[in-house]
């Protein structure tokens, strides 16, 4: 990508955000939308500024981010291990790949009450739920990545006498890495959404809980302050993940 | 190359190799190679030529120990081949077997690591081999930064750097355009004349076979058998002028005549027609 086209895309993206904010400003200013559904920008901002000065805000944020991190790490480790062993034979791949793929197609949200029953309303139920959901894209992409490694790479490694550990380290893993990375990324955002969703549905604390509470208490400005904060985190994390991906994909 | 091929010791001995895919009595069984025997002398450049699907790559993989033959034996350097023997045999595949996630240097290093070459030799061997193919400048490039022809030069260099007496080449130039292919062929002829390695080369190209080989084994359509053996009898290194001689044209035409029926038979097999159409009876 050239610098100019990069500059153009960035400008359009920033303009898009500016327009969204502009629309928000005008529809609330003119009173064409009830402040209960969408409070004015300045009141959301004022609430947000007050919110970030409280300890309760930061302890909620810490709790939620920690929950997401735990869930994601569990999902990644389990997904890669399961993906690796499933691809050790064509037979296992044929048996288990469709099973994992179709389980992933079930809306696992249906099972959320079960997680609450098993793990309580504390963070543990959110970790278990989000790890379960986040496991699937990692496992599926690991299977897809490892089983689509070009046969010629493997044959060439074998002809040079590579051991199976060497083959995994220097051939299988690097060849599958771009596909696995996509799984890690999808899994991360699924874990993120699952933790927040879980907290909104049933929880004692965390960002999701605060959003649900603000809505119940009819405090739209506070609710939007939280939502805007979550959007900011998401955008930042997305940038970080893309930057890592681009660096790894240079070859 | 002075001594006539017949006086040199045998480097590779293939005895009664048969390869079947699928169960012997099942209707889906494919007989890929049927009772093949051949000898390759040390320092000889031999081509396996035949229509698609005749099993020439299968035979090469059996010689290199990547496949086990259903029946028969292959002996290399006095030992029966039971699996890959990276000390004696290296393969050169198409250029796309360079790992795109490593630089050229790292590709060589990983190959040496696989082959268990002492680490102290890695840098020197890489440097020498790249210099021989004129690619020293590109040691820190990634394969995708090079043209297909340059990549294949690097790939040849890697095969040479592995330092085995025998090199098996599986259609190494198949992805190259005609002109690059000719130039690489000339370079290969020159390189090999210097090193005196034993080469078995699989190709589709008649001109390539005549230009490079000491002997050409022409194979039949499936099931693969040796139909005939052609002696080229032209010393290495060969200059591109060899291609302009009447001898070259004559050999090429003879090869084409031998191969034509087999190619038709192979096409008939692909279409699922009775294999008898033009196959060697």
CATH code at A59? 1.10.3720.10
DSSP output for B178-223: HHHHHHHHHHHHHHHHHH--EEEEEES-HHHHHHH-SEEEEEPSSS
Q: Do A2 and A45 fall into the same domain?
A: no
Which 3 state secondary structure label does DSSP give A82?
A: helix
**Interface probe with B: pick from A152, A157, A161, A167, most Cβ of B within 10 Å:** A161
The per-residue pLDDT for B259 is 85
pLDDT at A191: 95
Q: Could you give the percent of chain B with pLDDT greater than 90?
A: 26
* Total count of domains within chain A: 2
Which domain covers residue A224, as residue numbers? 39-250
**Do A1 and A95 fall within a single domain?**
no
Cβ of residue A150 closer than 8 Å to a chain B Cβ = yes
Q: Do A14 and A58 fall into the same domain?
A: no
pLDDT of residue B274: 60
User: Which A residues in the span 193-232 are in contact with B, Cβ-Cβ below 8 Å?
Assistant: none
Residue A220 and residue A168 share a domain: yes
What pLDDT sits at residue B277?
42
Residues from chain B that touch A249, judged by Cβ atoms under 8 A, are none
- Interface confidence (ipTM) of the complex: 0.82
pLDDT per residue as tens digits for the range B56-107: 888 999 999 988 888 888 988 888 888 888 888 999 987 678 999 999 999 9
What is the rounded distance in angstroms from the CA atom of residue B94 to the CA atom of residue B172?
4
Each residue's pLDDT tens digit, B225-247: 888 888 888 888 888 888 889 99
The 3-state DSSP class for residue A233 equals helix
Mutation pick from B99, B108, B142, B166 vs chain A, by most beta carbons of A within 10 Å, is: B99
Average pLDDT over residues B173-178: 82
Percent of all residues in chain B with a pLDDT value above 70, rounded to a whole number: 94
Task: Write the pLDDT tens digit of every residue in B126-161.
Answer: 998 898 888 899 999 999 999 888 898 899 899 889
Nearest to B189 by CA among B244, B134, B253, B240: B240
CA of A145 to nearest chain B CA: how many angstroms apart?
15
Q: Which residues contact A188 (CB under 8 A, 6 or more apart)?
A: A72, A134, A237, A241
Min Cα–Cα distance to chain B from A53, Å: 47
Contacts of B19 (CB under 8 A, 6+ apart): B31, B32, B33, B55, B58, B59, B62, B67, B69, B70
- From the CA of A84, how many Å to the nearest CA of chain B? 20
**pLDDT per residue of chain A (251 residues) written in tens, 0 to 9:** 456 678 888 899 899 989 998 998 888 888 788 888 888 888 888 999 998 899 888 999 999 999 999 999 999 999 999 999 999 888 999 999 999 999 999 998 999 999 999 998 889 999 999 999 999 999 999 999 999 998 889 999 999 999 888 998 999 999 998 899 899 999 999 999 999 999 998 888 888 888 998 888 888 888 999 998 999 898 898 888 888 777 765 54
Question: Cβ neighbours of residue B40 under 8 Å, at least 6 residues apart?
Answer: B10, B11, B12, B13, B46, B198, B200
Q: Residue B95 has what pLDDT?
A: 65
Pair A107, A52 in one domain: yes
Residues A121, A22 share a domain? no
C-alpha atoms less than 13 angstroms from C-alpha of A132 in its C-beta half-sphere: 18
pLDDT at B278: 43
**Are residues A44 and A27 part of one domain?**
no
My answer on whether A82 and A102 are in the same domain is yes
Q: Are residues A14 and A115 in the same domain?
A: no
Q: Do A153 and B99 touch (CB under 8 A)?
A: yes
User: Hey, what's the torsion of the CAs at B241, B247, B249, B254, to 10 degrees?
Assistant: -150
Residues A18 and A103 in one domain: no
| CA separation for the pair B149, B173 (Å, rounded) | 9
Are A199 and A225 within one domain?
Answer: yes
E strand spans, chain B: 10-21, 30-41, 45-49, 71-76, 79-80, 89-92, 166-170, 198-203, 215-219, 226-231
Contact B14, B36 (CB under 8 A): yes
Q: Would an 8 Å CB–CB cutoff place A155 in contact with chain B?
A: yes
Q: Are residues A150 and A109 in the same domain?
A: yes
């Amino acid at each position: 990508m050239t610098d100019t086209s990069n500059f153009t895309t960035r400008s359009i993206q920033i303009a898009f955000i500016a327009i969204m904010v502009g629309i928000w400003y005008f529809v609330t200013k003119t009173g064409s939308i009830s402040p209960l559904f969408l409070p004015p920008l300045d009141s959301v901002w004022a609430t947000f500024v007050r919110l970030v000065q409280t300890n309760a805000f930061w302890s909620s944020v810490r709790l939620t981010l920690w929950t997401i991190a735990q869930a994601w790490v569990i999902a990644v480790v389990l997904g890669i291990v399961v993906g690796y062993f499933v691809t050790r034979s064509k037979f296992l791949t044929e048996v288990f790949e469709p099973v994992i793929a179709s389980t992933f197609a079930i809306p696992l949200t249906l099972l959320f009450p079960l997680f609450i029953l098993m793990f309580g309303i504390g963070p543990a139920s959110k970790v278990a739920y989000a790890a379960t959901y986040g496991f699937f894209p990692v496992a599926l992409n690991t299977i897809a990545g490892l089983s689509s490694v070009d046969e010629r790479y493997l044959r060439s490694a074998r002809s040079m006498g590579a051991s199976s550990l060497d083959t995994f380290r220097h051939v299988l893993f690097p060849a599958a890495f771009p596909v696995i990375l996509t799984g890690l990324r999808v899994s991360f955002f699924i874990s993120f959404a699952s933790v927040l969703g879980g907290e909104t549905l049933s929880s004692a604390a965390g960002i999701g809980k605060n959003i649900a509470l603000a809505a119940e208490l009819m405090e739209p400005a506070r609710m939007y302050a939280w939502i805007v904060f979550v959007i900011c985190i998401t955008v930042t994390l997305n940038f970080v993940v893309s930057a890592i991906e681009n660096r790894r994909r240079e070859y | 190359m002075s001594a006539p091929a017949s006086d040199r010791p045998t480097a590779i001995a293939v005895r009664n190799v048969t390869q079947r895919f699928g169960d012997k009595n099942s209707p889906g069984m494919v007989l890929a190679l049927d009772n093949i025997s051949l000898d390759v002398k040390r320092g000889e450049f031999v081509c396996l030529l035949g229509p698609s699907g005749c099993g020439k790559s299968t035979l090469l993989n059996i010689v290199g120990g990547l496949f086990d033959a259903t029946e028969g034996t292959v002996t290399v350097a006095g030992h029966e081949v039971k699996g890959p023997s990276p000390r004696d045999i290296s393969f050169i595949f198409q250029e796309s077997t360079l790992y795109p996630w490593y630089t050229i240097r790292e590709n060589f290093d990983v190959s040496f690591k696989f082959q268990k070459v002492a680490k102290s030799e890695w840098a020197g061997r890489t440097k020498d081999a790249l210099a021989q193919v004129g690619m020293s400048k590109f040691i820190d490039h990634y394969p995708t930064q090079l043209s297909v022809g340059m990549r294949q030069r690097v790939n040849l260099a890697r095969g040479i750097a592995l330092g085995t007496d025998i090199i098996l080449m599986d259609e190494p130039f198949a992805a190259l355009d005609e002109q690059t292919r000719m130039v690489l062929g000339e370079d290969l002829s020159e390189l090999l004349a210097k090193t005196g390695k034993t080469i078995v080369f699989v190709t589709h190209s008649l001109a390539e076979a005549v230009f490079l080989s000491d002997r050409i084994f022409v194979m039949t359509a499936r099931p693969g058998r040796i139909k005939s053996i052609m002696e080229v009898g032209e010393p290495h290194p060969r200059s591109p002028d060899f291609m302009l001689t009447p001898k070259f044209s004559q050999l090429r035409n003879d090869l084409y005549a031998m191969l034509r029926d087999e190619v038709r038979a192979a096409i008939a097999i692909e279409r699922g027609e009775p294999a008898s159409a033009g196959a060697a009876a």
